[in-house]
Structure 1
Amino acid sequence: MDRLRNAQRRIFGSEESEGRIDASYEPLEGGSEGLDGEPIEHASHEEFSWIDYSIFMLLGIAMLWAWNMFLAAAPYFQHRFESDDRLLRNFQSTELSVSTVGSFGSIIVLTKLQARASYPKRIMASLMINLVVFVFLALSTRLFLGVSAGVYFVFLMILVLCTSLAAALCQNGLFAYVSGFGREEYTQAIMMGQGIAGVLPCIAQIVSVLSVPERKSEQGAPQESSTSAFAYFLTATVICTSSLVAFAYLRSRHGSRERIKHILDSDEESVAPGETKEVPLSRLLRKLFWLGGAVFLTFAITMMFPVFTGQIQSVRDPLSAPRLFQPSSFIPLAFLFWNIGDLIGRVLPAVPALSLTSQPRVLFILAVSRVIFIPMYFLCNIGGKGAKVNSDVFYLLVVQVFYGISNGYVGSSCMMGFVEWVDSEEREAAGGFMSLCLVAGLTAGSFLSFLAAGS
């Protein structure tokens, strides 16, 4: 009977317990069992290393640095598009759409190409692409300043598309690569690094704006200078170069061993050297339905915040307010508060008492409930037209921080917990699948953001 029950579990992915069948969500304690009830042995976990943890955190920073850099640099781009009202109004939503569509398409292709995938090479390629993009952005603040808004818009969208490809390569490669180490802590390090990637670009943007003399337009409104933008984009090249060096060191630390190659399955079916066993997406969807859905909804809802944040101004008069509350620095300040909340949320799942990785349906419900933050933006000073709640504290601390916390907590919980619901040999493909769900959510949310842009 034990053999028959174990066979049923392997065939139908379910287990009878207390008189009912719990179809697909049962954590896998160390993987599957054989037909005789014996556990299938999997490779032991790597010993935890703070050096590896720190490197994965730095790679997480590099993964989303370009994304957050484009968002935080909104005041500079507004300055470049001020001569064209249509571009000024829609450039941020277009930027989001180009980025997410590029990432989504790339992720789909990369997920299909599981066999013979070299994930370290994908990570290296992504860092090199971003480095080239950052150099071009820095040069654009010094050269060809007289080009039209339309020409600069095309240039910017090409760079955004390049960074979307880099983000797809990095997400697909890094989550697959780290899964081979078998430690949730390293995945959490990547997620925390992504949170830090939201905080540091905003700080760099604010410092670069405040460190150069203030400029005024003909109407007296403050503007951001090309000098501050140059320093800001140059900082990004330093981060990317550091990540390249750190990842090369990580590879050298572990020699030539392939961290993402799996052991033989229960039938001793071998995978050809240099080739990764392909896992059907339908199987991953069945096992990760709630977690994948939670990730999708979390980031689809999150995509509303960049457009609102780029439009909302301080309730103070920009002509007489301290420089920190003028649009050129207040917008990155608002991004900073959101990303501080996001960083806090990404750290919380590391506390065992706050972990919900074993409760995928609860995470799905929390993801849906985040929609409540969207109407809260309409209480703030959108486009300088006045606020129903006349308080910067309400906007920065209540709306931005808690919206960010909810994003970081739900997103990180899903990305940390998926390894509990798949077999050991499926972890690599499951990492790519969860990245696909994440980018799909970003893509859907980016198109919905045009509604926010027109509000």
Structure 2
Amino acid sequence: MAPVDHQDVSEEYHLHRAAEIRLENGSFGEKLRDVSYLTFLLIGIALLWPWNAFLSASLYFQHDVFHDDTIYAKIYISTMMSVSTISSVGFNFWLSKRQHSYAVRVTRGLLWEMLVFGMLGIFVLVHGIFALWFNFAFLMVMVMISSCGTAMTQNGAMALANVHGPQYSQGVMMGQAIAGVLPSLVLFGVSFIGDPRNQSVGGIFAYFCTTMVVSMACITLYRFSTVAKADKPELLVGEAGNPETDAVAFSTLFAKLKYLVLSIFTTFVVTLLFPVFAANTFVVGLPLQNAQYIPFIFTVWNLGDLYGRYISEKQFFQSSKFTPFTTFLYSVSRIALVPLFFCFNLNDRLKSSSTVISDLCYILLQFVFGLTNGNVMSVSFMKVSPALSSDQERKAAGGFTNIFLSSGLAFGSLLSYACVFVVTAYSKKEV
């Protein structure tokens, strides 16, 4: 092995810090002109895009593939969510124990996504020749591989972002929020055109191809940029050794990140109650039908989520006074928003006894719920890098934080079933 020039290594090491400082003082437009930041932003979009593709195609699978009334149609969404969250938790735990090759994981996960959605593109053209049980099993396998691919890319991306600095972690968070806003806007627009259940094969095929294009664009920009260089062992000044034997212990990471990872976990547990209320709270006074109002609420929530991630870089949230413990208290305080949802028109409980003011207050509540979700998530991830003392720890933290992220999603999805029961029971009470 060629000897390492420690002077050159030190200079390249500090280049990351200099670039990070420039981004702190720059506008969002200036950030987008930074190739590394743009790369992390696009990675964030690519992380959430496959999940949105599965969600957006749910009605197509239930209606066209499983014919609405079959058992496969009825259990499709719940099974898809269970397979996705459980496989994500398990795979994230496996990845976090193998603290090496982070740069390779980014592209490998994206290639898995391209394979999955390429096969799904073929599936929508030929599914009619197979039995329903085979189609169901095939889709669940695709969901599992896609979930693992996303976990692999996110594991590698957050490890590299932690090395580059908090601004780049925010770039990943912003990309995910953008990927959340775009499909919800499309769904809202479609609600004015016709029944979203009547999705054409050509439209679904194009959507899956778009997912492949997003992954390919991400791989291209990633390889063009210098982001992956942060994974070179020689950049870790004063850190040498075998990554297999010198792995950072989970106990070390938890001691330094406990309030941040608990914030991430708590935020997702609370947030996954949102779809239950969004899908069961109906319009009262606004000139919209429920088929338009519900997609509009999803759009409002996602816009709030995007804005919350955008403001997370503000000095108030990044100052030393806004500690990880404060962030954890912030995440827990969001629980207080949940009872407020029962004040509105759950399953037409209020009927005509309320006015348009009720709708506007509910829209504001959903925006705040989305804003606090994005804000806590982004602030938590941005504070990970400064809380650690070495790049080896920062890389390992990429997988460690993802365990709590995926666990929060899994626990939140289970809690949402109980929330459905509570909402149903509450709606049956007389006003």
Residue 278 (structure 1) aligns with? 247
Tell me the C-alpha RMSD between the 2 structures: 3.4
Deviation at 1:156, TM superposition (A): 3.0
Structure 1 gaps, min length 5: 1-39, 216-221
Cα offset, 1:113, TM superposition:
1.0
* 1:104 CA drift (Å): 0.6
Alpha-carbon separation, structure 2, partners of 1:77 and 1:312? 25
- Report if aligned partners of 2:285, 2:355 keep a CA contact under 8 Å in 1: no
Residues 81-230 of structure 1: pairs in structure 2 closer than 5 A: 83-84=68-69, 90-114=75-99, 117-145=100-128, 151-181=134-164, 183-206=165-188, 214=194, 223-226=197-200, 227-230=202-205
Opposite residue 173 of structure 2, the aligned amino acid is: M
**Mapped pair 1:452 → 2:419:** yes
Q: Is the 8 A contact 2:43 2:175 kept in 1?
A: yes
- Partner residue of 1:234? 209
* 3-state secondary structure, aligned to 2:407: helix
Q: Is the 8 A contact 1:312 1:383 kept in 2?
A: yes
Closer/same/farther in 2, CA of residues 261 and 176 from structure 1, 3 Å limit:
farther
1:375 counterpart = 2:345: no
What is the DSSP-based 3-state SS (H/G/I as helix, E as strand, rest coil) of the residue aligned with 1:113? coil
Distance in 1 between residues matched to 2:133 and 2:341, nearest whole Å:
30
Q: Cα distance 1:433–1:373, how it changes in 2: closer, same or farther (>3 A)?
A: same
The separation in 2 between residues aligned to 1:126 and 1:172, in whole angstroms, is 9
1:68 corresponds to 2:52: yes
Letter in 1 for 2:307: I
Task: Tell me if the contact between 1:125 and 1:169 (Cα under 8 Å) persists in the aligned partners.
Answer: yes
Question: 8 Å contact 1:102–1:164 — kept in the other structure?
Answer: yes
Moved more, 224-233 or 418-427: 224-233
Is the aligned partner of 1:336 residue 2:299? yes
2:283–2:359 CA contact under 8 A, matched in 1: no
The CA deviation string for residues 338-371 of structure 1, in whole angstroms up to 9 with x for no partner, is 1111111111111113436741111111111212
Taking a change above 3 Å as real, the CA distance of residues 190 and 333 of structure 1, as seen in their structure-2 partners, is same
Kept in 1, the 8 Å contact 2:259–2:325? The answer is yes
Moved more, 341-350 or 229-238: 229-238
Q: What residue identity is the alignment partner of 2:104?
A: K
Aligned-pair distance for 1:424? 1.7
Q: Which amino acid aligns with 1:451?
A: A
Letter in 2 for 1:224: N
**In 2, Cα distance between the equivalents of 1:43 and 1:309?**
46
* Deviations, residues 146-195 of structure 1 (Å, cap 9, x unaligned): 867655443332222122101210121111122222x2211111111111
Distance 1:383 1:343, change over 3 A: same
Deviation at 1:402, TM superposition (A): 1.3
Matched residue, 2:390: 424
- Take 1:450 and 1:407, find their aligned partners in 2: how far apart are those partners? 20
Kept after mapping to 1: 8 A contact 2:62/2:68: no
Q: 1:415/1:180 Cα in 2 relative to 1: closer, same or farther (>3 Å)? A: same
Identical-pair percentage:
32
The structure-2 alpha-carbon separation of the partners of 1:130 and 1:42, relative to structure 1 and needing over 3 Å to count, comes to closer
The residue type equivalent to 2:382 in the other structure is: M
After superposition, the C-alpha distances for 1:29-82 in whole angstroms (9 at most, x for unaligned) are: xxxxxxxxxxx9994241427111111100011011122333344443453456
Amino acid corresponding to residue 87 of structure 2 in structure 1:
G
- Structure 1 residues 257 and 404: alpha-carbon distance in aligned structure 2, compared to 1, 3 A threshold: closer
Residue 429 of structure 2 corresponds to none
Out of 235, 241, 247, the residue aligned to residue 222 of structure 2 is 247
Q: Would you say 1:399 and 2:381 are equivalent positions?
A: no
C-alpha contact (below 8 Å) 1:314/1:330 kept by paired residues: yes
**Cα gap change, 1:360 to 1:254, in 2 (>3 Å):** closer
**Distance in 2 (alpha carbons) for counterparts of 1:190 and 1:260:** 25
Does the 8 A contact of 1:73 with 1:205 survive in 2? no
Tell me the alpha carbon deviations over residues 372-421 of structure 1, each in whole angstroms, 9 at most, x when there is no partner: 33334445555667668665844762232111101100011110001222
Residues 102, 383 of structure 1: alpha-carbon distance in 2 compared, 3 angstrom cutoff = farther
User: 1:133 offset after TM fit, Å?
Assistant: 2.3
The alpha carbon displacement at 1:301 in A equals 1.3
Is 1:303 aligned with 2:272?
yes
Greater C-alpha Rg: 1
1:267-293 Cα offsets, whole Å, 9 max, x none, are xxx314x76841110111111111111
2:417 and 2:397 map into 1 onto residues whose CA distance is: 31
CA 1:42–1:245 in structure 2 vs 1: closer, same or farther (change >3 Å)?
closer
Distance in structure 2 (CA, Å) of the matches to 1:303 and 1:343: 17
Report which of the two has the higher share of helix. 2
Q: In the superposition, relative to structure 1, how do residues 204 and 374 fare at CA in structure 2: closer, same or farther (>3 Å)?
A: same
Q: What letter is aligned with 2:77?
A: Q
Asked if structure 2 preserves the Cα contact closer than 8 Å seen for 1:209 and 1:224, the reply is no
Match of 2:313 in 1: 350
CA distance in 2, matches of 1:184, 1:54: 14
C-alpha distance in 1 between matches for 2:362 and 2:280: 14
The question of whether the paired residues in 1 share the 8 Å contact of 2:160 and 2:228 is answered with no
Q: Deviations over 1:113-147 (max 9, x none)?
A: 11xx2112111111111122223334444432586
**C-alpha distance in 2 between matches for 1:74 and 1:383:** 22
> Hey, what's the Cα distance between the residues in 2 that align with 1:386 and 1:76?
32
Distance in 2, matches of 1:260 and 1:326, equals 58
Hey, what's the Cα distance between the residues in 2 that align with 1:72 and 1:386?
30
Give the direction of change, closer, same or farther, for the CA distance of 1:174–1:362 in structure 2 (3 Å limit). Answer: same
For structure 2, the residue ranges without an aligned partner over 5 or more in a row are: 1-9, 20-32, 425-431
Scaled by the length of structure 1, the TM-score of the pair is: 0.75
Asked if the contact 1:356/1:413 (under 8 Å) is kept, the reply is no
